[in-house]
Amino acid sequence: MKFETKVIHAGIEPDPSTGAIMTPIFQTSTYVQDAPGKHKGYEYGRTQNPTRTALEASLAALESGIHGLAFASGMAAMDAVLKLLSPGDEIITTTDVYGGSYRLIVKQYEQYGIKAHFIDLRDRKLLQETINENTRLIWFETPTNPMLKILDIKQICQDTKKSQALICVDNTFASPHLQRPLELGADLVMHSATKYIAGHSDVILGALICKDPILEERLRFIQNASGAVPGPMDSFLTLRGIKTLSVRMDRACENAYQIATLISKQKAVRQVFYPGLKTAEGHSLAARQMSQFGAMMSFTLRDDNKRAANKILNRTKLFSLAESLGGVESLIGHPASMTHASIPKAKRAKAGISDSLIRLSVGIEHVDDLCEDLLHAIKG
Ligand SMILES: *Cc1c(COP(=O)(O)O)cnc(C)c1O
How confident is residue 163, by pLDDT bands cut at 50, 70 and 90?
A: very high
The arithmetic mean of pLDDT across residues 215-221, rounded, is 98
What local confidence, expressed as pLDDT, does residue 129 receive?
Answer: 98
Write the single-letter amino acid at 44. Answer: Y
Same domain flag for 226 and 251: no
Backbone φ/ψ region at 296: left (φ over 0), alpha (ψ -120 to 50), beta = beta
Same domain flag for 216 and 290: no
* End-of-domain residue from the set 201, 217, 242: 242
CA–CA gap between residue 53 and residue 60 (Å, rounded):
11
Nearest residue to 311 (alpha-carbon basis) of 303, 322, 365: 303
Q: How far is residue 15 from each of residues 21, 51, 57, 68, 306, measured CA to CA in Å?
A: 7, 10, 15, 20, 54
What local confidence, expressed as pLDDT, does residue 350 receive?
Answer: 83
pLDDT tens sequence across 309-326: 999 999 999 999 999 999
Annotation marks residue 98 as catalytic: yes
pLDDT tens sequence across 62-73: 999 999 999 999
Are residues 210 and 182 in contact, defined by beta-carbon separation less than 8 angstroms? yes
Q: Are strands 320-321 and 296-301 parallel, antiparallel or unpaired?
A: unpaired
The CATH number of residue 255's host domain is: 3.90.1150.10
CA–CA gap between residue 194 and residue 202 (Å, rounded):
8
Residues 6+ apart with CB under 8 A from 141: 94, 97, 98, 151, 169, 170, 171, 172, 173
Annotation marks residue 103 as catalytic: no
How confident is residue 55, by pLDDT bands cut at 50, 70 and 90?
A: very high
* End-of-domain residue from the set 224, 242, 260: 242
CA–CA gap between residue 235 and residue 266 (Å, rounded):
42
What local confidence, expressed as pLDDT, does residue 339 receive?
Answer: 85
Length of the chain: 380
Same domain flag for 163 and 289: no
* End-of-domain residue from the set 188, 217, 242: 242
Ligand 1 midpoint to CA 74 (Å): 5
- Which residue among the candidates 170, 234, 355, 373 is catalytic per the annotation? 170
Same domain flag for 236 and 125: yes
What local confidence, expressed as pLDDT, does residue 117 receive?
Answer: 97
Asked if residue 81 has pLDDT above 90, the reply is yes
Same domain flag for 233 and 313: no
326 CB within 6 A, ligand 1: no
Which ligand 1 atom lies nearest to the CA of residue 324? 1
204 CB within 6 A, ligand 1: yes
CA–CA gap between residue 203 and residue 239 (Å, rounded):
11
313 secondary structure, DSSP code: H
Same domain flag for 169 and 226: yes
Same domain flag for 164 and 17: yes
Same domain flag for 231 and 284: no
Same domain flag for 179 and 70: yes
Name 208's bridge partners.
69, 190
Beta strands in 195-268 (DSSP E): 206-210
Structural domains counted in the chain: 2
State the average pLDDT for the chain: 96
Weakest-pLDDT range from 32-41, 214-223, 264-273, 342-351: 342-351
Higher pLDDT, 168 or 99: 168
Ligand 1 midpoint to CA 171 (Å): 10
**CA angle (180 as vertex; 244, 93 as ends), nearest 5:** 120
- Which residue among the candidates 52, 136, 195, 348 is catalytic per the annotation? 195
Ligand 1 midpoint to CA 192 (Å): 5
The CATH number of residue 170's host domain is: 3.40.640.10
pLDDT tens sequence across 316-357: 999 999 999 999 999 999 999 998 887 778 888 888 899 999
- Torsion 91-96-101-106 (CA) sign: positive
pLDDT tens sequence across 245-299: 999 999 999 999 999 999 999 999 999 999 999 999 999 999 999 999 999 999 9
CA–CA gap between residue 333 and residue 298 (Å, rounded):
9
Same domain flag for 184 and 263: no
pLDDT tens sequence across 125-146: 999 999 999 999 999 999 999 9
Name 229's bridge partners.
none
Are residues 206 and 190 in contact, defined by beta-carbon separation less than 8 angstroms? yes
Please give the model's pTM, rounded to 2 decimal places.
Answer: 0.97
Same domain flag for 196 and 316: no
Name 209's bridge partners.
68, 189
User: Structural domain of residue 352, as residue ranges?
Assistant: 245-379
Same domain flag for 120 and 249: no
What local confidence, expressed as pLDDT, does residue 345 receive?
Answer: 85
Q: Starting at the earlier edge strand, list the strands of the sheet with 90-94.
A: 67-71, 206-210, 188-192, 166-170, 135-141, 90-94, 115-119
